[in-house]
Amino acid sequence: MPIMAETCDWQLRCTELKHRGSHLLQSGQWSDCSFLVGSEPHQVVVPGHKLILAMASPVFEAMFYGGMAERNEPIPILDVQPEAFKALLEYIYTDNINISSFDKACELCYGAKKYMLPHLVKECTRYLWSDLYPKNACRAYEFARLFEESVLMDKCLQIISTNTKEVLTDSSFEEVELSTVITVFSLEHLNVDSELDLFEAAARYARAQARRQPSPGPANKLSIRHAIEKIRFLTLTPQQFAEGPARSSLLTESEAFAVLMNILSSSSDVPLPVGFSSCRVPRKQLIGSGPSNNMPTFTVDTPSPVMVEHPERPLAALPYPRPRHDVPGVRLSSSIHTLSALGPEHLERHSNDFNKIYCQRPIIQHTDCLNTSVLDCSVTFMVDKNICLLGVQVPTQAPSEESAVSALGGTGYSELLYAHLLDADGARLTYTHYTNRVPYRHLLDIMFNRPVYIQRNKVYKVGIVFNKVGWYPMGSCAQQVAAESVFFNFGIGQSSDSVRDGLIRSIIFTY
């Protein structure tokens, strides 16, 4: 009797609608339809309730109540895996989204697309976005391309561009579609030592493809040919080409000879093989990412409020920006913290003790911007490692004709600004108000109220609002920057997401 009472009175224990839906889903009670899900030999029968399913999905509505209503039982669904279909039903019945892995997110997103569940699609895409890393970036790109998820496609290409060598050397690259290989080899920016990295990846891909085909041979060579044509052989030295690609079976002797002759002379009479790249410009590298990049990084000691207003030390005596010819990402403190071991309370309590690293964005082209009332600027960015963001660095005003005399006299001006950090959804993570007397043509360190833990491969947005009328030295800044071993990509997303981003000169962080 107690068991019967428990079965009959289950509604009494369900205080919320999702609890009632969960009971019906798990028990199958009152089900009036069923699905044969998956492919043999792993097919399962899953019960369902037409009304609940039709309430959530126009596809299910047409299936059960439309003019061509489904009459077969069970209804075959062979293109969705059982676990993904069960997770889809869990969302419909309880609003709970259960995603535990990258693969499951892909499968669930496919089902959500098929049954027109846009919110579930968005959450699956968000999960894929947050779980991106070099080993799955190509697969995620293929998934995003299949379902025309342009934002996710862009994020995947950013990961591939930033971590190219790790992407190419991972075994998963041997399993991607040939069209993906061609897309990667066509990118203008790739973080590789030379085109040899691409050729070696193509050779491994061809060998893996040959192992999968029952009769490897000329067809395999032809299929990889379109990727080979994207490699910029003419950027290699004669020795690099002769000791590498020229010895490979992927090139015929006549092709190898023709390429070598064109490497030796730009006016060679021997034409390049049909379709081969004639570009002699190496792929764009991340600024500061290679040993050949000797661009100095300039960091500035910003005066504190006490220094600015100290009566015994006038403003004119304060240090102006002075170059320090160090490697990118100079550490300015002696204490070291490992962020992975820190909790939020520890971060806030010890924020002043962090090693400050500056991701400084080189100025490509200088311009000036006049602020007549309120001046907004912002930049989106993404990093390839988990870091802790501490603040930003912005320039102070350039003196106008009216203020030139005052500038020489050392009085400076009173700056007033607001800064904040947003996540991809526009939620504010931290902020700060800054007001102080500052010198002209200076760089200010604006430290946020608290440090924020930044996750790799996620998009964030820094915004600054200047409230003082005057001219600000702006400019176009580099979009890819390396600070120590952390790579930053700026200007992620739509062009409207970053406005006057040249007024944000550095990201101050630690890790």
Q: Per-residue pLDDT tens for 19-51?
A: 899 899 998 899 999 999 998 888 999 999 999
Mean pLDDT of the chain: 81
**How far is it, in rounded angstroms, from Cα 41 to Cα 75?**
17
**What kind and span of H or E run contains 86?**
helix 82-94
Per-residue confidence at 162, pLDDT binned at 50, 70, 90? Answer: confident
Asked if residue 191 has pLDDT above 50, the reply is: yes
Identify the CATH number of the domain defined by range 305-510: 2.60.120.820
**How far is it, in rounded angstroms, from Cα 259 to Cα 242?**
10
In one letter, which amino acid is 21? G
Q: 463 with 376: CB under 8 angstroms?
A: yes
Cα separation values, 203 from 102, 176, 411, Å: 28, 14, 65
Query: DSSP 3-state assignment of 25?
Result: helix
**What kind and span of H or E run contains 451?**
strand 443-454
pLDDT value for 342: 41
pLDDT value for 222: 56
- Residue 44 has phi, psi (to 5 degrees) of -135, 155
Asked if residue 345 has pLDDT above 60, the reply is: no
Asked if residue 369 has pLDDT above 90, the reply is: no
| 428 contacts: CB under 8 Å, gap ≥ 6 | 420, 421, 422
Q: Where are the alpha helices (DSSP H) in 28-78?
A: 50-56, 58-65
pLDDT value for 485: 83
pLDDT value for 247: 94
Q: 192 with 236: CB under 8 angstroms?
A: no
pLDDT value for 212: 77
Asked if residue 344 has pLDDT above 90, the reply is: no
**Angle between helical axes of 118-130 and 150-162 (0-180°, round to 10):** 10
Per-residue confidence at 215, pLDDT binned at 50, 70, 90? Answer: low
Lowest-pLDDT range of 138-142, 385-389, 402-406: 402-406
Query: DSSP 3-state assignment of 194?
Result: coil
Tokens for 450?
A: 């608290």
Tokens for 203?
A: 């050779």
Bigger pLDDT: 178 vs 15 = 178
pLDDT value for 457: 84
Lowest-pLDDT range of 125-139, 176-190, 209-223: 209-223
- In the chain, pLDDT over 90 holds for what percent of residues? 47
In one letter, which amino acid is 278? S
State yes or no: cis peptide before 74, omega within 30 of 0. yes
Q: 503 with 346: CB under 8 angstroms?
A: no
With residues binned 3-state (H G I as helix, E B as strand, rest as coil), the percentages for the chain, rounded to 5, are: 40, 20, 40
Q: 477 with 361: CB under 8 angstroms?
A: yes
How many other C-beta atoms can be found within 10 angstroms of the C-beta atom of residue 133? 16
The architecture (CATH level 2) of 2-130 comes to 2-Layer Sandwich (3.30)
**How far is it, in rounded angstroms, from Cα 250 to Cα 259?**
13
Asked if residue 317 has pLDDT above 50, the reply is: no
**How far is it, in rounded angstroms, from Cα 492 to Cα 344?**
27
Q: Give just the sign of the alpha carbon dihedral 319, 325, 326, 327.
A: positive
| Overall fold of domain 134-264 | 1.25.40
Asked if residue 60 has pLDDT above 60, the reply is: yes
Tokens for 183?
A: 């897309």
- Residue 77 has phi, psi (to 5 degrees) of -130, 90
Do 134-264 and 2-130 fall under one CATH topology? no
Asked if residue 99 has pLDDT above 80, the reply is: yes
**What kind and span of H or E run contains 236?**
none
- Residue 170 has phi, psi (to 5 degrees) of -75, 145
Q: Where are the domains of the chain?
A: 2-130, 134-264, 305-510
Render pLDDT for 387-403 as a digit per residue (tens, 0 to 9).
Answer: 999 999 999 998 876 65
Tell which residue, 430, 358, 356, 357, has the closest CA to residue 394: 358
